[in-house]
Structure 1
Amino acid sequence: MAKPTDVDIRAALRGGLPDRYLTPDDIAAMFEVPLDTVYQWRRKRTGPPGFRIGKHLRYDPADVRAYVAKCKTADQIAA
């Protein structure tokens, strides 16, 4: 059961991202893709840019927003 402090990460993507660094699990939930896809994006440098804190991979919400905006713009240009 969700706790009152839990964030629905997909709703957060639509209404503004959480004020914390995001994990690969958060990114997978946001985009509704398998976690393996998030790691493939990282290896291929095609997804939102991430960074390491020690051995932990994190994503800055501002970078994720910029990535989504870039994808939307590219989609509109292609259409």
Structure 2
Amino acid sequence: MGMNSTELGLEPLIGVEELAEYLGVPVQTIYDWRLSGRAPRAYKLGKHLRFAASDIAAWLEERHEGGSHE
């Protein structure tokens, strides 16, 4: 039996498609945000991008109305 990420104390990583669906934006928007430096921090694993829930939460908090950005 292998260990899952929860047992290892690791948070799950999600892909671009899942992030786009979660945010309700097209996948291309995520790529556009990355090119302009406005996307959440990501891990590049080979040719795939993965986003940690904690990085997404921090990124969203920065964009909360009344937040420190925009």
**What TM-score do you get using the length of structure 2 for normalisation?**
0.74
Measure the CA separation in 1 of the matches of 2:42 and 2:15.
9
RMSD across aligned C-alpha pairs, in angstroms?
A: 1.6
Between the two proteins, the alignment pairs up a number of residues equal to 58
Moved over 4 A (4+): none
Higher helix share: 1
Measure the CA separation in 2 of the matches of 1:27 and 1:45.
16
Name structure 2 gaps, 5 residues minimum: 1-10
Name structure 1 gaps, 5 residues minimum: 1-18
Measure the CA separation in 2 of the matches of 1:62 and 1:50.
11
Measure the CA separation in 2 of the matches of 1:39 and 1:47.
8
Task: Supply the AA of the counterpart residue of 2:27.
Answer: L
State percent identity of aligned pairs: 26
Given candidates 1, 21, 29, the residue that maps to 1:37 is 29
Higher strand share: 2
**Any idea what SS the aligned residue of 2:44 has?**
strand
**Any idea what SS the aligned residue of 1:76 has?**
coil
**Any idea what SS the aligned residue of 1:41 has?**
helix
